[in-house]
Amino acid sequence: MDTLLLSAIIGIAAGIVDIVPMVIQKLDKRATISAFLQYFFVSIIIVNIDLPHIVWWLQGSLISVALALPVVFIVASNDKKAVPIILTMAAILGTLIGIAGHYFK
């Protein structure tokens, strides 16, 4: 399977996993769409990048958390309780994206 297609499929799955709790809680539609797009594009980056001297299973988590930091800074000004949730989801989903990309590639 083409790597770009694989990363897009993984991104759609990760985005859905992330937004399900947001939809259940009936959060803002823009925030929900933003979260979906975040993990869609993060998946494309994670699957298609190779960081030197970093083990493959840790790369996804590092990239996902790093790319979530701008969102964290914006959200922290209004809702400090959301920061650990965002960072935890970034670490977990980033690791799972990295694992999926490694084994399905």
Tens-binned pLDDT, residue by residue, of the chain (105 aa): 799 999 999 999 999 999 999 999 999 999 999 999 999 999 999 999 999 999 988 999 999 999 999 999 999 999 899 999 999 999 999 999 999 999 997
The answer to whether the CB of 46 falls within 8 A of the CB of 63 is yes
48's enclosing H/E stretch is none
For the full predicted model, state whether its pTM sits above 0.85.
Answer: yes
The answer to whether the CB of 51 falls within 8 A of the CB of 59 is yes
Q: CB within 8 A of 94, min separation 6: which ones? A: 42, 46, 60, 61, 62, 63, 64, 65
